Structure 1
Amino acid sequence: MSDQTETLQVTPLNQQHRALGALMAPFGGWDMPIQYEGIIAEHRWCREQAALFDICHMGEFQFTGDIVASGLEDLFTFSISAIPVGRSKYGFLLNEQGGIIDDLIVFRMAADEVMIVVNAATAPNDFKVIQSRLKGGQFSDITAATAKLDLQGPRSREVLVDLLGGWVAEIPYFKFVQQTVLGVPAIVSRTGYTGELGYEIFLPADKVGELWEKLLADERVKPAGLGARDVLRLEVGYSLYGSDIDEATTPLEADLAAFVKLDKQFVGKEALLKQQKQPLKRVKVAFKVTSRRTPRHGFGIFDGERQIGEVTSGVFSPMLGCGIGLGYVEPGYAALGTALTIKQDRAVMEAAVCTVPFFTEGSVRS
């Protein structure tokens, strides 16, 4: 075992992944399964059946107290007070310059309680930043005690109804319920990162192994790794933190202004208002390659021989039969249909700017 592997954090399911023959690799400081049977096979299973993902590496924080008086309301680009109990909201934690410290989801558990779900690699810094900005309330990191499984795919509802009960079928999109699962308190949320009907299940870490085994005992369910998850999320145009967005990127540059409420106060608002008044220097675009070739993170985006941007995410899309990607370009090249050339060493591919989602036939709202 290498020194690098020894320093990685592991999820409660690490041994189960290894027993299944998963290809393991570092991701966000964690030892995570990249694939089992294969990325394409796992991708297809998620689009057609139900795929099970270990997402225990994500960070979870708990806040209890007065949402407004504590200053929590002023931390994010959306209003926490406006989130009804039982619903969740996606948005950003920004720095003073308007850069994205993290993208996250806030679950409104009660009038005076929320759970904040953040990315694995950024979790320690997120906690410090949020804690430093709070003026009251109780704020704790519950990551170690909390496990998270994602069951995604068009058959995920029927699988969970059979295992947990008919109440699962009553959960609307982007809502969640607090229920008892395997005899312990759990959160079952109809959310996900794949573009398919799916559920995210939060439960105590010491019970996740039992739930994992029960779900995999169903012939409709197969495990899937982060490789398939990356293809799935990119096919529906979701950004990946650390690749497509980061602290040097604002939501305006990332074409994510829809998740920013400029009529409320939050850290970074003044910087965004100032940026609005000036031409952007770069903007995020989606593009399709005219062949089956795969664009990769870091490949250059060119107009002829002049580089005008860079790819931040790219894969071969099994659903579209071509390469797809996200990247940043000079604003003059962001119009739909604009021809682009993607190049890296001997790899050259023609592409054109398009809209997202790339794949529009998912079951996410079924």
Structure 2
Amino acid sequence: MTDLEITPLTQWHRDNGAKMAPFAGFDMPVQYKGIIVEHKHTRTKAGIFDISHMGEFALAGEGAKDALNKIVSHDLETLAPGKCRYGFLLNESGGINDDLIIYCLAQDEYMLVVNGACREKDFKHIQANLPESILLTDISDQTAKIDVQGPESLDVINDLMNEKWNHLKYFNFETTEKLGFSMIISRTGYTGELGYELYLPADNALEIWEKLATDERTEPIGLGARDTLRLEIGYPLYGQDLDEKHTPKEAGAGFFLKKETDYIGKAGLAEVKESLIALSIEGRRTPRHHDEVLLSSGEKTGTITSGSFAPSLGHCVALAYVKANDADNDTFIIKTARTELEAKKVSLPFYTEGSARMKVD
């Protein structure tokens, strides 16, 4: 435990009864009142999440857009200030070094939000491929990230800010100093529900978290429910569903790739050896990461990457890589440590009632 990093909110989590565990090198809350309780609260009201383990980089300088465009899969030509976009940082063979969101702050000025476990390698990779005139700065340690997610999250944000934020559209953001410090409010999230992500100075995180926590509509949510929420929507997790051995096309995310501009890894995207598929399993017996996926003949075709009981659906779901030639099969068998489970291939998202894209007045 002594080697784990902490967030500005770690002591609050401990003081308020959170079950803690290592995640991405940080001491993070897994649950408070229970995964299913927290999951359902986020789907129906609003959950608050400490996501301060994520990495943030600032990138600026004349020609920053063109330089970054050669490194990431995002189409920066159509990314205007005030908008953000999801995409990938690839290796030379097209494998995924990381998935990340890029925020366009102004012309030739960006913020990159990367996975905490990938922070160091991402920074080195990007830095090595930038011209010296472009300044890349790791601002992770001075930046906290708090997510407010759920159908009532807009009401919570409006009350926090004491003004209406109904105008903010999906994958749009604004910078505000309304609370006495600079904070980015972004209409994004990882749960499939209407949600907002707050990027703010680490020194102000506890104050804002405590204000959010006292709102009767909110509950603190741990990483356990965050995982079941994202899996029900089919959002991938880096290190499980995404990795350096698989390309975005193999992960079913080829639609995020820009078509015109050349970028690192683009040449390696042509071959698709495996495909990430969605599987539905009756009952509560949960497949786990690394469980084998078999054809009906008993032949192994792939491996489970993520699996869980889905509280919103009442049964288990999973993501798995299988051989590309087998990806169109309707049924599979999952071999767990104790038994074999029948699985049916389905389309994503598993849970279709999410409010993430809802229009707000």
Counterpart in the other structure of 1:199: 196
Counterpart in the other structure of 1:59: 55
Matched ranges for 1:183-198 at <5 A: 183-198=180-195
Counterpart in the other structure of 2:322: 329
Separation in structure 2 between the aligned mates of residue 221 and residue 181 of structure 1, nearest angstrom: 22
Counterpart in the other structure of 2:279: 287
State the TM-score, normalized to the length of structure 2. Answer: 0.96
Is 1:228 aligned to 2:220, yes or no? no
Amino acid at match of 1:244: D
Amino acid at match of 1:251: P
Matched ranges for 1:1-366 at <5 A: 5-67=1-63, 71-135=67-131, 136-273=133-270, 275=271, 280-303=272-295, 304-335=297-328, 338-366=330-358
Separation in structure 1 between the aligned mates of residue 188 and residue 62 of structure 2, nearest angstrom: 26
Separation in structure 2 between the aligned mates of residue 332 and residue 264 of structure 1, nearest angstrom: 30
Percent of aligned pairs with the same amino acid: 47
- What's the offset of the Cα at 1:345? 2.7
Aligned residues: 356
Separation in structure 2 between the aligned mates of residue 191 and residue 69 of structure 1, nearest angstrom: 22
Equivalent position SS for 1:76: coil
Amino acid at match of 2:320: G
Amino acid at match of 1:95: N
Equivalent position SS for 1:148: strand
Closer, same or farther: CA 348–106 of 1 in aligned 2, 3 Å = same
Query: Are the equivalent residues in 1 in contact too, given 2:65–2:108 (CA < 8 A)?
Result: no
Query: Are the equivalent residues in 1 in contact too, given 2:149–2:189 (CA < 8 A)?
Result: yes
Query: Are the equivalent residues in 2 in contact too, given 1:157–1:197 (CA < 8 A)?
Result: yes
Runs of 5+ unmatched residues, structure 1:
none
Amino acid at match of 1:287: L
Equivalent position SS for 2:2: helix
Superposed CA deviations along residues 235-283 of structure 1, whole A, max 9, x for unmatched, are 000000000011111111111101111311100111114x2xxxx3211
Give the superposed CA RMSD. 1.2
Separation in structure 2 between the aligned mates of residue 70 and residue 338 of structure 1, nearest angstrom: 44
Query: Are the equivalent residues in 1 in contact too, given 2:59–2:136 (CA < 8 A)?
Result: yes
Superposed CA deviations along residues 85-126 of structure 1, whole A, max 9, x for unmatched, are 000000000010111000000000011210000000001100
Separation in structure 1 between the aligned mates of residue 312 and residue 210 of structure 2, nearest angstrom: 29
Structure 1 runs of 4+ aligned residues shifted over 4 Å read: none
Equivalent position SS for 2:117: coil
- What's the offset of the Cα at 1:296? 0.9
- What's the offset of the Cα at 1:36? 0.4
- What's the offset of the Cα at 1:28? 0.7
Separation in structure 1 between the aligned mates of residue 64 and residue 33 of structure 2, nearest angstrom: 48
Query: Are the equivalent residues in 2 in contact too, given 1:67–1:73 (CA < 8 A)?
Result: no
Query: Are the equivalent residues in 2 in contact too, given 1:36–1:225 (CA < 8 A)?
Result: yes
Separation in structure 1 between the aligned mates of residue 224 and residue 178 of structure 2, nearest angstrom: 28
Query: Are the equivalent residues in 2 in contact too, given 1:67–1:80 (CA < 8 A)?
Result: no
Separation in structure 1 between the aligned mates of residue 100 and residue 251 of structure 2, nearest angstrom: 15
Equivalent position SS for 1:62: strand
Superposed CA deviations along residues 316-366 of structure 1, whole A, max 9, x for unmatched, are 00111111010111123222x611111123222111111000001011112
